A = this chain, B = another copy of it.
């Protein structure tokens, strides 16, 4: 692994080492005991794949935000981190992107983040995931010309099978994994199937940008500020079959349907606006929505490490096992969750369904089951059989 040491220099090391200018125990020996107690924290290792890409480029430079909200992070073990939470960023790139990765590391150095104690870069997931407590899996192959969705599932599935194996072997046993690279639900499923030693509950597929976009559209329609919209669920797949749920969502604590009485808009326009947001952005902006995706990754982490506000919930794609809704088991499905801030979550029980909502949930469920059959060779469940009816990749995420 290349441990980033200085402009232009790198060292080949058998494993990640702390940079020579990071906080060392010897340095701490010179401070008072009080200072020591305050200053010394276990490093949190955050591993990021696709680290040379644009989403990561936004995400990585939000280190100050991590430091701020991780300070409140209470581990399941009962250990409470104080106000200063030093972190290590471990960046996974490809051979092709390695120089860019060096550039990212240099810019992180130049940013003088006080809590960023170490940056490591590598092309080997076994090195990057070593002792990782968070794994943010952003990297994925984009679809090439003429590639079918089945082909995309296969090519990315192989990446996530390998990364699952690596996480299983070298990451912290309670590592939390957030899969961003598409198709993220099925990639997350493949990843967890290849990491049997890590609790399946720890794997997430990012649907937070969809949730944020849905909240924004409801706020705009209702003429209220964003923070008045709560209880927003995205059900199912991060694809065009996703179900932004206006039945359970609230505006100013009231059901959305009592505030926005234009049911036609809710049924016909709202979901389409959420789905097409990325496509409109790519038309206007000429590139995909990396900045808001990065913001939503930070939101997703924060939702797991800070207590969910009373009565509210957030959406994340998680493993369906014993879910109370009657959704098919053994897939990654976006559902409403709450957290007490320990990095874990529980499913929300008090949601309602009507025929319209349930019908759409069944459709996105059918798609995820079809995707699962399509990657059976990567989850250790026999031969793949691909019968994906149509392409449901979100526009702007091709």
Binding site for B on A (CB under 8 A): 5-8, 20-23, 27, 57-58, 60-62, 64-65, 68, 99-100, 102-104, 106-112, 114, 117, 209, 212-213, 215-217, 219-220, 222-227, 273, 277, 280-281, 283-286, 289, 291-292, 294-296, 299
Contacts and interface: CB of A to CB of B under 8 A. Distances in A.
A223 B157 CA distance: 42
A300 B40 CA distance: 28
B277 A7 contact: yes
A171 B317 CA distance: 46
A106 B60 CA distance: 22
Given A209-B110, A291-B61, A294-B61, A285 B100 contact: yes
Given A103-B285, A294-B61, A225 B23 contact: yes
14 contacts: A7-B217, A21-B222, A21-B225, A61-B294, A100-B286, A103-B284, A103-B285, A106-B280, A107-B291, A108-B292, A110-B213, A110-B292, A112-B216, A112-B226
A106 B277 contact: yes
Contacts of A68: 68
Given A21-B225, A110-B212, A7 B273 contact: yes
A212 B21 CA distance: 15
A273 B217 CA distance: 48
| Top 4 A-B pairs, shortest CB-CB distance | A103-B285, A103-B284, A107-B292, A111-B295
Contacts of A220: 5-7, 21, 109
A223 B110 contact: no
Contacts of A283: 99
Contacts of A296: 110-111
